[in-house]
A and B are shown apart, each in its own frame.
Chain A
Amino acid sequence: MKTLVIADHDNGQLKPETSKTINAAVKLGFAVDVLVQGADISGMANDVALMDGVSNVLVADDAAYAHQLAENTADLVLSLASDYSHIVASATTTGKNFMPRVAALLDVAQVSEIIDVVDAETFKRPIYAGNAIATVKSLDTKKVITVRASSFDLQNEQTAAPITTISSSLENALSSFVSVEQTESERPELTAAEVVISGGRGMQNGENFALLNGIADKLGAAIGASRAAVDAGFVPNDMQVGQTGKIVAPNLYIAVGISGAIQHLAGMKDSKVIVAINKDPDAPIFQVADYGLVADLFDVLPELESAL
């Protein structure tokens, strides 16, 4: 019984989800190997080798894996699968993309977005936008699992694990990469930030999101948004926090002009401390907020910035 974790990265930088997913994998109780796949990734492989609990790092460094296409990645993982009882990846857009393909090719069910490991075959996962927690037992001999990273801690450092190079170049004939358009940001990554400040429809337009900048700078916070703000075109979609966007669990979450719809709460209600700033005292967000301030955000935000 061994576990294979597939590292998550954005072609150059290892994502913090990788470390947290390794933590979840360690809880399964078996030796953990980590596959780092992509092009020009040796730096990241060294970083993974230093994470506590990692037995071996497997490196598949080839142009075929440069853009992490699901078809190539799934075939690569499949080629390694026979040695492992558990195959684990982060529930990021990358993991969500290729893992079900791996599961189907192995003819096993996938357990998506686990938030807790009960034992090697039993897991907890949220369903119905986080309004219920299901405990599920996988009956398949091989388990394919994705992990909600925000539910697990980062791994500590250890002495470097050995690194093995895999010479493999599985280029598929079904799909090809065309282009990528990255959202530029100086701020911490939303899913990894200790503090998140999010704006909703109450921000009224995209320009007003600048009101959050000063506060985010002072708190070292990432800036998020509700689906309403994204749908209204105020901000790009990768800032969306919610059931259909990113799941965050920071120490402090500040919701500004966000009503608190089920879909938004699903993405942030595991935050340690929640602050809500809203002029509607009946907004559902106040039912989950530790500290609520009923006020006009346009009065409050500049005040908050200068008070910090």
Chain B
Amino acid sequence: DGASVAATQRAFVRDELVACRAQLSEAGVPSVEETDKHIEELIKAAKQAAAGTAAAVVFMGGMADSATAYPIFAQQNYKKPREANGKIACANCHLQGKGIDVRIPHEVLPDTIFKASIEIPAKYEKREQPIADGSKAKMNVGAVAIMPEGFKLAPKDRLPKQLKKEMKGLAWAPYSKELPNVVVAGPVPGNLYEKMTLPILAPDPAQNEDIHFDKQVLYVGGNRGRGQVYPEGNQSNNNQFFASAAGTITAIDGLKVSIQGADGNTVAQELLPGATIVVKVGDTVKKDEPITTNPNVGGFGQGEYEFVLQDMNRVYAYCAVSVSIFFAQLAFVLKKKQFEKVQLAEGF
């Protein structure tokens, strides 16, 4: 698995940086700052290798155009991944909505490890998305999980073998130093990690006063496919393009569409490779009318999933209460049946 993961990602420098980051956290280097420093060093090295500013620009472009979804973009641009209204930051750039399916236990006990299985369904083998040069490639997936306060990623040495196997080598990394309860994973190949397993360690309210036996909420966001907007604000080629002005199409030259307006001015609109142009020369278009197909086959989905941090004493107490209630009910019915005999004997 690891080898194929590496093979698919080798093509893009940025991916190597992300993979590097994942490896670092895998090796037990927890500090995000250190990882960031490492990434910076790598960027510096890449810049030196490319020799000069021009090459650096090319590198930046290559970084922006690779065929994956990036939790790291969120990490770099959003202090908290979840907005006040509940929207997860990924949705700011991954504009298409597509559902995810998350399964977690209904109740968990303190200081135990449980798993959340996050399914990001899509037809990964069949549906392909455009990558930077417009050619098609398979989709990658990424996910962010916002665990309740005090919950954290299960430590490696406590993971059961079965769970380790289920994770298939997926590396979850903390979102930032301030938010150890928020973890991210990806980008990883979608066909391999359609179902991601997140091992969570429940905290113990006996050891931490801020944790209570209570209902907890897990917020999960999962995405497949490339985004539509880059952190710099420019749009990616995984987009549908719209006419920038009203008028008649006078020329289509490769990816350059010229639109002549009613006032005679011609607007040349540059499209990005990936989408198919659906207008012909001579067509009349309104402003903001789509002039290409929508090549985006991915999408982002999020959800809230509740579970209970259960106190076993409550369960024991409830068992005691319900058993005593059962015997009380039994006694009432038996007593009634007994007294009915008296009523009948008295010739009611």
Co-assembled chains A and B: no
A interface with B by C-beta (< 8 Å): none
B interface with A by C-beta (< 8 Å): none
